[in-house]
């Protein structure tokens, strides 16, 4: 019997807004002294009233648009009710029936480089909980730090479209890359700024209906552990089915020491959150114009940029991926390409140089790289007589460029410089060549 995994992902990302989701406390709590970023709202004191952080909503919309979602003109905040020490109000303000963004998609790469479209069910706005700090030893007990309580959180929920762990890894990496391009979050998993949850079931291959159960994997804080946990879970579930038994619907965690998943909560203990509209907040109404403004201001996103690099500069897919890994390196490369044009250093040369030499963009400038590429060629031709000969030949072969230049088109000179560079296998000294060409053309 062959089986096929059915996997859906829920990703939480903390937004890097100035203030929290429903109060004016600073949302930048990392490393701050405990319980210093608090007020009656985020401490859940009776009578305190929340108000909506527009910056957070804008950033949630950016994420939705980047994932090809529809932004709803009218959405609603609701209370998700449950009791836990890290949730002082006894409910989390979230979105359920009327989320801000719905129905998106993202292409991911799986085994053997195969591409698959993952449907995004929704992207909604909510708030983070406080942080429990467990103490061991003499001071045994649990302390609560409310600095994180109410920090803006966005949840991105997919349809159960994943069938391979390689797709999951690629999806999570792409999301992280998008958050960073948008500048809405550092999305550092170790700091808990990005968190993954997976829902897993398995079905017989070819079966059309989704399994009636699903196992949720929670509280896993690295891509690697998530992949290991999902792989383990797929095997475990197939084994249970092979024995002719049913799989229990439950929540499981990952034990990294024993390399296995373990039960955290069974279906009987599952919550009924009793969602209902948050009475202290208005409906969130957005104008078409506002949504359009946010859309127009989006930066070019990595997948698009990468395709552009392949097409415009003739780079391979792998090269384009490396050079669009971060917005920083992509912009560095683009600047280098612009500078390179002035010296007849082409994009492919630059791409090879930056990738092969593992250039640290924090430590160098695009212009420096071009200098190095030019200086690297052994046997630079600086001799004026030799350069003059080459220049004359190129002038003879490019009457159009010569004519253009004489009519005042400065850029036509680049064509001639490029011609000499090709003729000399890139060895002509440009600083000497330029005045020679200019003199011959005048």
Residues that bind ligand ADP (CB under 6 A): 6-10, 157-160, 199-201, 210-211, 214
Residue 318 interacting entry, from Zn ion, ligand ADP, none, C-beta within 5 to 8 Å by type: none
308-317, long-range: CB < 8 A, 24+ apart:
309/333, 312/347, 313/337, 313/347, 313/348, 313/351, 314/347, 314/348, 315/347, 315/348, 315/351
Q: Identify which of residues 49 and 210 has a Cβ nearer to ligand ADP in the complex.
A: 210
- Which among 27, 49, 284 has a CA at the least distance from the CA of 153? 27
Residue 23 interacting entry, from ligand ADP, Zn ion, none, C-beta within 5 to 8 Å by type: Zn ion
Q: Identify which of residues 272 and 385 has a Cβ nearer to ligand ADP in the complex.
A: 272
d(CA 391, CA 385): 10
Is residue 218 within 8 A of residue 265, CB to CB? The reply is no
Residue 122 interacting entry, from Zn ion, ligand ADP, none, C-beta within 5 to 8 Å by type: none
Smallest distance, Å, CB 137 to ligand ADP? 37
Place of tokens 């509209």: 277
Q: Identify which of residues 23 and 184 has a Cβ nearer to Zn ion in the complex.
A: 23
Dmax (CA) of the chain: 89
SS3 288: helix
Place of tokens 């060409």: 437
d(CA 332, CA 324): 10
Is residue 398 within 8 A of residue 437, CB to CB? The reply is no
Residue 39 interacting entry, from Zn ion, ligand ADP, none, C-beta within 5 to 8 Å by type: Zn ion
Smallest distance, Å, CB 217 to ligand ADP? 10
Q: Identify which of residues 197 and 334 has a Cβ nearer to ligand ADP in the complex.
A: 197
Residue 149 interacting entry, from ligand ADP, Zn ion, none, C-beta within 5 to 8 Å by type: none
Q: Identify which of residues 151 and 301 has a Cβ nearer to Zn ion in the complex.
A: 151
Smallest distance, Å, CB 201 to ligand ADP? 4
d(CA 421, CA 390): 9
Smallest distance, Å, CB 85 to Zn ion? 18
Q: Identify which of residues 201 and 319 has a Cβ nearer to ligand ADP in the complex.
A: 201
Smallest distance, Å, CB 40 to Zn ion? 7
Smallest distance, Å, CB 69 to ligand ADP? 15
């Amino acid at each position: 019997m062959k089986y096929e995994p059915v996997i859906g992902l829920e990703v939480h990302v903390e937004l890097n807004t100035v203030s929290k989701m429903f109060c004016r406390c600073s949302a930048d709590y990392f490393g701050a002294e405990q319980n210093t970023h608090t007020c009656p709202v985020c401490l859940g004191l009776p009578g305190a009233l929340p108000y909506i952080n527009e910056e957070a909503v804008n950033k949630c919309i950016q994420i939705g648009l980047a994932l090809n979602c529809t932004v709803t003109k009218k959405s609603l905040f609701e209370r998700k009710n449950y009791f836990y020490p890290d949730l002082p109000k006894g409910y989390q303000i979230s979105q359920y029936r009327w989320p801000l963004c719905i129905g998106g998609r993202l292409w991911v790469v799986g085994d053997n480089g195969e591409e698959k479209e993952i449907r995004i069910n929704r992207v909604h706005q909510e708030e983070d909980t406080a942080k429990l700090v467990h103490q061991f030893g003499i001071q045994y007990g649990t302390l609560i730090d409310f600095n994180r309580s109410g920090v803006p959180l966005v949840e991105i929920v997919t349809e159960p479209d994943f069938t391979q762990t390689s797709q999951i890894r690629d999806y999570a990496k792409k999301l992280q890359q998008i958050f960073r391009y948008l500048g809405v979050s550092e999305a550092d998993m170790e700091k808990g700024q990005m968190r993954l949850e997976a829902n897993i079931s398995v079905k017989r291959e070819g079966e059309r209906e989704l399994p009636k159960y699903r196992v949720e994997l929670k509280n896993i804080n690295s891509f690697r552990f998530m992949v290991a946990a999902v792989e383990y879970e797929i095997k475990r579930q197939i084994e249970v089915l092979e024995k002719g038994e049913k799989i229990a619907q439950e929540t499981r965690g990952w034990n990294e020491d024993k390399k296995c998943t373990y039960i955290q909560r069974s279906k009987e203990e599952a919550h009924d959150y009793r969602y209902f509209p948050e009475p202290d907040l208005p409906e969130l109404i957005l104008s078409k114009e506002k949504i359009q403004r946010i859309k127009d201001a989006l930066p070019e996103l990595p997948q698009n940029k990468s395709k552009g690099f392949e097409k415009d500069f003739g780079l391979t897919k792998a090269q384009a991926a490396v050079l669009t890994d971060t917005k920083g390196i992509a912009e560095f490369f683009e600047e280098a390409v612009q500078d390179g044009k002035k010296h007849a250093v082409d994009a492919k040369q630059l791409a090879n140089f930056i990738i092969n030499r593992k250039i640290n963009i924090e430590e160098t400038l695009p212009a420096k790289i071009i200098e190095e590429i030019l200086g690297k060629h052994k046997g630079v031709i600086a001799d004026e007589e030799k350069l003059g000969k080459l220049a004359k030949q190129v002038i003879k072969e490019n009457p159009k460029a010569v004519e253009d230049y004489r009519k005042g088109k400065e850029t036509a000179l680049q064509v001639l410089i490029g011609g000499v560079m090709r003729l000399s296998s890139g060895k002509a000294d440009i600083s000497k060549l330029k005045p020679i060409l200019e003199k011959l053309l005048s």
